[in-house]
């Protein structure tokens, strides 16, 4: 195989692999960026920025917990991906705002 053809094949393969990795990774956020984007925000604002959660639990009419999976990473721990990020919303239905975030 001549060199120009081999180089084109390698270039196409590299582009395909980079596209595959980029689409497979999804969005992840540092803990600080996630906290800044969530605390004090409404359920609608959080959904618009970070998407729908994996699970929602309504603990009481004034408290709702959202669970995100593999959405955040810990800069202080070698960028380790958090398996679960929990967002607590408090307030009456329709006017709840995020008050706490836990990472695990």
pLDDT the model gives residue 24: 44
Q: pLDDT tens digits, residue range 44-91?
A: 999 999 999 999 999 899 999 999 999 999 999 999 999 999 999 999
Q: In what helix (H) or strand (E) does residue 100 lie, and over which residues does it extend?
A: strand 97-103
Q: Taking all residues of the chain, what is their mean pLDDT, rounded to a whole number?
A: 86
Q: Give the C-alpha separation, 79 to 12, whole Å.
A: 30
Q: pLDDT tens digits, residue range 11-20?
A: 665 555 444 4
Q: Are 103 and 75 in contact (CB under 8 A)?
A: no
Q: Give the C-alpha separation, 48 to 25, whole Å.
A: 19
Which of 27, 28, 35, 33 minimizes the C-alpha distance to 102?
Answer: 35
pLDDT the model gives residue 29: 96
Give the least confident one: 1-10, 30-39, 45-54, 61-70: 1-10
Half-sphere exposure in the Cβ direction for 35 (13 Å, CA):
9
Level-2 CATH architecture, domain 27-103: 2-Layer Sandwich (3.30)
For the chain, give every domain's residue range.
27-103
């Amino acid at each position: 195989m001549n060199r120009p053809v081999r180089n084109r094949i390698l270039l196409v393969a590299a582009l395909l692999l980079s596209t595959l990795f980029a689409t497979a990774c999804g969005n992840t956020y540092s803990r600080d960026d996630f906290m800044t984007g969530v605390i004090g925000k409404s359920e609608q604002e959080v959904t618009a920025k970070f998407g729908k959660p994996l699970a929602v639990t309504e603990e009481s009419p004034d408290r709702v917990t959202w669970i995100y999976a593999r959405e955040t990473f810990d800069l202080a721990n070698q960028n380790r991906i958090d398996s679960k990020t929990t967002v607590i919303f408090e307030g009456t239905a329709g006017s709840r705002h995020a008050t706490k975030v836990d990472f695990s």
